[in-house]
Structure 1
Amino acid sequence: MSEARQCALITGITGQDGSYLAELLLDKGYEVHGIIRRSSSFNTERIDHIYQDPHETGSNLKLHYGDLTDANGLARLVSQVSPTEVYNIGAQSHVKVSFEQPIYTGDATGIGAAKLLEAVREYQDDTGHTIRYYQASTSEMFGGMPETAPQSEDTPFHPRSPYGVAKLYAHWLTVNYRESYNLHASCGILFNHESPRRGETFVTRKITRAVGRIKQGLQTKLYLGNLDAKRDWGYAGDYVEQMWMMLQQETPDDYVVATGETHTVREFCERAFGHVGLDYNDYVEIDPRYFRPAEVDLLLGDPTKAKEKLGWVPRTSFSELVEMMVDHDLELAAREKTLRDAGHKLPAGIGHEN
């Protein structure tokens, strides 16, 4: 008797979490379908190492053009792929950018989840085919209430950014669809999670990229905002495992995904620069442009429920995470320096004083 077909549809597959999740599911024998936005340039570098020509026999990873703002397109994709699991990881996920683009953030991050949930509900109603749904929620939904730390699944929400507000809408809508339509829908309330694949505009990767560039003589200063902000930082590769584990449970539920430890941006700088024998005080300067209109000073998660019900615990320590990211960006900066020394023009943005 053949095993049941396992097929996942992932939004945001070209992002940090999507790429790690795709790797995990492919290793487990899934057929994986990813949604990518059409653009004039390729943005698949995070998954190029696992992507085969879709016309090749045996290719288990297939990419489809689509967008969370396109309800009809999402409905067609769900019908075409007929997934057993849907992971909604796609979003406009940069907090500072959400203040500059609140309408787009709300549309893509919040209303986009509504469009995808509705596509899943309609397909399930029409076909009787059960789909398990994962919504990527965020610790930014808790917002600026440090007196409530550590934050668990029962902590009141108080988002402090358009991004947090949009994610809260998507979160509560997922809960509503679970309770109203009997969807197997779960939310992972993820605290900050990083990796060498983190986007370079996020503070952790901005730091480790600067460390590599400064060590190689490509940059002299790093400009940051609030060094005293405290975050619960984990490794994205660990966190996608809990996403998958949520959808394997008989009963859907919501879980905090966190390490239970908090560290400041200053401490991240200290460890990152220290890993290459440098003192961050010599290179880091404060720039008011990088302060948020509404600051979130402390985010600290309580992963007790995930540990007790799922048996999940993060495997990568804060120090290991920082060192992993710095080592990766040292190699990247070394390649950039080789190109520069050979007379090649570096890509835009490399070597700038950010």
Structure 2
Amino acid sequence: MGLDLLIVDAHGRDREGIAAFFERQGHRVTATDDAREGQALVRERFFPLVLVDVDVEPWGGLEFVTFVRGQSPRSEVVLLTVRRAWDVAVGGYRRGAVEVVFKDQSDAPRLTELVERVARRWAGDGAGVENLAAEAKQLLDEMLARMLDMSQHVPATQSRLETMPQGSVRVAVVDHEPRVQQAIAAAAAASRGSAAAFEVTALPSGGAALDALSGAPPDVLVTRDDLLDLPGTTLVTGLAERAPDLLAVVYGAAEGGGAQATIYEEGHAVRTVRPLADPAPLVREVCTLVERAAAAVARRRLMDLFRLEHSDLLRRYALLRGRLDEEARVRGGGG
């Protein structure tokens, strides 16, 4: 029985060669060169095995591994790389990859054996039911998301949302010097009355930030990296454990001189902005993250209203999804 296999690799020759090889072995292969398309595919259907290149655009293979493990926990992910680098291997395993495979002939047998092992597992007794349960969970999640999206366009829903507390995006700025805090505060003042309005809390140190924000993390964290008491990256990690959806900007000195800012999503660095000659580029990045956070805040309000109006539907959804999870644990030997 063939395996549904997804390959996400920007290197055309590698992608086509791997796809052709496993198709000849009888597997059903879907291949793409773009991580965004790969994400859409993982959301649409279940793949027991995903192969992703570490350099895939636009976020990189490590971030894609994290996405798959969160979106489709039953999928196994293999990180492909041409670099025999210790940090790549460690990063892959830490994100949840089952293997890190090098793109050369010496590792080809290992990749082939891994694919066959996963195929055998999914071809065993009950595998069809397990596959169906995984797809059912994904379909339930997608149906709920689409219902939420549709409901926000209903006039009656809009009217009820207008009666609910609006709530603005909360931005925390951590720096012992006032320059960046003042620039972001000015942008917050200018945003009042707009759909992307936000409020700013200024804090002088990492310790003060942990004390003030641990109980109620902000939507967006902006922090200097070389704080007086701890690195800004440590602050991001600590708050992301309490608020997985945290968006953050860490700014500081760049290698070779000048300054840079690193953007974090869900506790992971996703891109770097340089150079930073003045606070203006940093403020623009913050405003972009605020727009994203504002959309998330609006969605949370919609979900709160949806819970009030469809509590029985959501209760049945949670029960069914829990039963599917329990069935998967029992079949997997975890129950």
Alignment TM-score > 0.5, same fold: no
TM-score (norm 2): 0.30
- Tell me: higher relative CO, structure 1 or 2? Use CA pairs within 8 A at least 6 residues apart: 1
Larger Rg: 2
TM-score (norm 1): 0.29
Structure with bigger helix share is: 2
